[in-house]
Amino acid sequence: MIYLSKQEKRRAFWLNISAILICILFLFPIYWLVVTSLKTEGEIFRTPPTLFPLKITFDTYATQLFGKQYNMFEAFMNSAIIAVGTLVLSTLLSIPASYGLARFRIPGMQLFILLFLVTQMMPSSLILTPLFIAFKHLHLNNTYLAPILADATIAIPFSVMILRTYFITLPKELEDSAKIDGCNTITTFLRIMLPIAIPGVVVAMVFSFLFGWGDLVFALTFLSDTHKQPFTAGIFNFLGYQGISWNNIMAFGTISIIPVVLIFVFIQKYIVSGLTGGAIKG
């Protein structure tokens, strides 16, 4: 236990209070999102707006979930399929690649690393038109595979960069002793290195999931069938058809950020370390 002087205690107290105020101010939009979803249609347009709902209602959720107008459940299932697909594809490809880039000294290595770095920086609009045409010929448009394949192009370089820094920091002696115990390259990788790298792998998986979950542009381009569209594309089209009913849309939004909040609660610590490693050291 560290004993703080009275002055230091007071300082810490005021710092904590200011930090809480900063967070409340900064995160107010998210509060507003949730609160709006619980208001009635009439209360939405009140001036001045009410900071807390006069009457809490879950009607918005009921209309969205069970109403005929727009099926939220279906949209979220589609988003989940696309996000999980992106996660699986990206993880399967990027774990071995990042291990290879971190552990083997082979000709061309510098170039491979550069290729992953550059692709990470390219905008989705760049690959949109050619992929749309290619997917059309391959009859992939309007299948879940189309956005999954495209989302993985963002998730893979990101994961490779994060995981590579992770594998580099693992001590070389681990591998050597595994070799002495009779492991070959593959079994060393699977039995020794991969289990230690789990925190890094989790971060890569989480971000791959979030890329798929939040994607709008690929879904909008490749999926015109409304029964296949994820919530992002669904909500975007929903905007166009009628006057905006904000409470319904915010109910949608509230549910869509649940994975973000859950992820945040459970693996916050890993995200910060994984992110700073990957982004700065490149």
Partner 1 sequence: MARSRLIGYYFIFPALIYMILLVGYPIIENIRLGFYDVNVMNISSKSQAFVGLQNYRDLFDKGTIQIAMGNTLFYTVICIVFQFTIGFGLALFFSQKFGLSERLRGLIMVSWLMPGTITALMFRYMFSLDGGIINSVLLRLHIIEKPIEWLIQEHNAMWSIIIANTWVGVPFNMILLTTGLITIPKDVYESAAMDGANAIQKFFRITLPLLKPTITSLLILGFIYTFKVFDLVVVMTNGGPVDATEMLSTYSYKLSFGEFNFSQGAAVANILFVILFIISLGYLKMVSKEEVM
Nearest distance in Å: CB 241, partner 1: 14
For the residues of 186-249, what is the DSSP string, one character each?
HHIIIIIIHHHTHHHHHHHHHHHHHHHHH--HHHHHH---TTT--HHHHHHHHHHHS---HHHH
Site for partner 1 contains 149 (CB under 8 A): yes
Residues 77-136 binding partner 1 (CB under 8 A) are: 93-94, 96-97, 99-101, 103-104, 106, 109-110, 112-119, 121-134, 136
Q: Which amino acid is at 67?
A: G
CB nearer to partner 1: pick between 110 and 242: 110
CB nearer to partner 1: pick between 62 and 261: 261
Of 114, 100, 74, 87, the closest CA to residue 238 belongs to: 74
Q: Calculate the CA dihedral of residues 72, 225, 86, 29 and round it to 10 degrees.
A: -40
Could you say which of 221, 223, 248, 251 contacts partner 1 (CB under 8 A)?
A: 221
Nearest distance in Å: CB 125, partner 1: 4
CB nearer to partner 1: pick between 157 and 200: 157
Site for partner 1 contains 282 (CB under 8 A): yes
CB nearer to partner 1: pick between 108 and 171: 108
Nearest distance in Å: CB 47, partner 1: 6
Tell me the C-alpha distance between 40 and 72, whole Å.
19
**What phi-psi label fits residue 139: left (phi over 0), alpha (psi between -120 and 50 degrees) or beta?**
left
CB nearer to partner 1: pick between 8 and 181: 8
Could you say which of 213, 229, 248, 251 contacts partner 1 (CB under 8 A)?
A: 213
Site for partner 1 contains 266 (CB under 8 A): no
Between the alpha carbon of residue 77 and those of residues 142, 150, 232, the distances in Å are 15, 19, 12
Nearest distance in Å: CB 261, partner 1: 7
Site for partner 1 contains 280 (CB under 8 A): yes
Residues 172-211 binding partner 1 (CB under 8 A) are: 185-186, 189, 210
